[in-house]
Amino acid sequence: MRKHLLTVLPAALLLAVMLLTAAAVSAETSGDYEYILEDGRATVTGYTGTDSVLTVPSSLGGCPVTAVGESAFAGCYDLVSVTLSEGITDIGDSAFFNCTALTSVTLPESLVRVNADAFCGCTALEAITLPKNVAALTGNPFSGCASLTAITVASGNSALEVRNGLLYNRAGNELACWPQGLAAGVCTVPDGTAAIGTGAFFLCEDVTAVVLPDSVTAVGDDAFRYCLGMTSVRLPAGITALGRSAFEGCGNLTEITLPQGITAIEPWLLRDCDSLTAVTVPEGVRSIGMDAFEGCDSLARVILPRGLTEVGIFAFYGCDSLTDVYFRGSREQWNAVNVDDLNDPLTEAALHLPAPRAADADLPEDLAVIESQAFRDLAAGTLVRLPASLAEIADDAFPSAEGENSVAFIAPPGSYAEAWGLAHGYTVWFDAP
């Protein structure tokens, strides 16, 4: 009996907590508004009306409205002008998502927090003023606001400021939003910027290139996500953190040099970068997160660090052009890497390993052609380093690969020299860049 009571009592306590929670939070409707009441405060959770000009009320159900909840007005396509009443302190994620006709927003002095993507997809919005009490942005509230050219921060705001039309934190070292209406062509981030904030360039489709100053040390989640027109980005060597989905969906990005200071490839970092053909993962990286390169269907070559220990699920899923994997460590180290499921393009690609010893002969770095019989008399077992400059090698330039203890080569990944050596049956080690 005692054991039975000990089992029943926790279940009864859990039910009591659930009932108390249900009593504390209740879903209500008033006219066209849906809202919840919690601790004597109302949060707008939905709007079913079609008004083009709207003032969100200061109270609902006899309680003050203090927040506009997540996606509360999402898809209100008729909404042209909205005013939030005094007392509202919080605007939730995607609160006005895809309000495509919205041109005027009046925010109350009481507003403290504007969450990520609050006005995402408000393509007609050209200008907005953030009140002096706004102290927290969880990300870029204005992603996808294609017409936005003017962000103003009210006098007295101690957390945010605008510099050259760009929204920064007050210290001026984190870029919170590059307004999409100003984001076109090559965007050069000002010197002194230390961080690119979450979603700062999210959905800036007209950006073709981004140049980051050497002062930048961190790039936040979603920072350049779906910058569809971006073909190149200059990342400073001092960057130590690249956030999740930082370059996801940059379909025209053809190349990227990942900074040496990062220690992990975050999930979704370069997912669906359809034009990316090659990538070098820095030596300090220990793990590659889930979906990191998923859908990079032009990715043909990847160079991986010797210290790699883990490749997450789906990391290389859909990389159907991946033919060559260059691993800087030994075969034993490669066999010890934990590669999660659904990474067949990675595990089925040709594996290249670095040379086991120094070359016996280094050919000149500017050599373009090796003619017939040029090195036909090399001693068996000679290891020759071939330069990236080579564009032509005669079929009989070296001793036959069929001989005992034939010569072998070191060649740069993806080079003509590497392809020639492999095609002629030689052992070719890779020359790590």
Q: If you search the block for the tokens 């997540």, which residue do you land on? A: 70
pLDDT band of 338, cuts 50, 70, 90: very high
Instruction: Evaluate whether residue 406 is within a structural domain.
Output: yes
Instruction: Evaluate whether residue 400 is within a structural domain.
Output: yes
Q: Which amino acid is it at 375?
A: F
CA dihedral 226, 46, 135, 100 (to 10 degrees): 40
100-129 residues labelled b (16+ CB within 10 A) or e (exposed): bebeebebbebbebbbbbbbbbbbebeebe
Instruction: Evaluate whether residue 328 is within a structural domain.
Output: no
Domain boundary among 180, 208, 238: 180
Instruction: Evaluate whether residue 5 is within a structural domain.
Output: no
CATH number of the domain where residue 74 is located? 3.80.10.10
Instruction: Read off the tokens for 124.
Output: 């007609």
Domain boundary among 180, 213, 237: 180
Q: Are 429 and 330 in contact (CB under 8 A)?
A: no
Range of the structural domain that residue 70 is part of: 24-180
Distance CA 32, CA 73 (A): 11
Instruction: Read off the tokens for 177.
Output: 């939003």
Number of domains forming the structure of the chain: 2
List own/partner pairs for 423-429 with CB under 8 A and 24 or more apart.
424/395, 425/401, 426/398, 426/401, 428/352, 429/352, 429/353, 429/354, 429/355, 429/356, 429/383
Render pLDDT for 144-166 as a digit per residue (tens, 0 to 9): 999 999 999 999 999 999 999 99
Instruction: Evaluate whether residue 19 is within a structural domain.
Output: no
DSSP-derived 3-state class of residue 120: coil
Distance CA 335, CA 10 (A): 48
Q: Which amino acid is it at 95?
A: A
What is the pLDDT of the chain when averaged over all its residues? 93
Task: Please tell me the predicted confidence (pLDDT) of residue 14.
Answer: 40
Q: What is the pTM of this model?
A: 0.89
Instruction: Evaluate whether residue 307 is within a structural domain.
Output: no
Instruction: Evaluate whether residue 118 is within a structural domain.
Output: yes
Mean local confidence (pLDDT), 79-88: 98
Q: Does residue 8 have a pLDDT over 50?
A: no
Render pLDDT for 35-56 as a digit per residue (tens, 0 to 9): 999 999 999 999 999 999 999 9
Task: Please tell me the predicted confidence (pLDDT) of residue 25.
Answer: 67
State the burial class of residue 75 (Cβ atoms within 10 Å of its Cβ: 0-12, 13-18, 19+). middle
Render pLDDT for 214-235 as a digit per residue (tens, 0 to 9): 999 999 999 999 999 999 999 9
Instruction: Evaluate whether residue 45 is within a structural domain.
Output: yes
Distance CA 285, CA 121 (A): 35
Instruction: Read off the tokens for 142.
Output: 């204005």
Render pLDDT for 267-316 as a digit per residue (tens, 0 to 9): 999 999 999 999 999 999 999 999 999 999 999 999 999 999 999 999 99
Domain boundary among 156, 180, 204: 180
Distance CA 316, CA 325 (A): 12
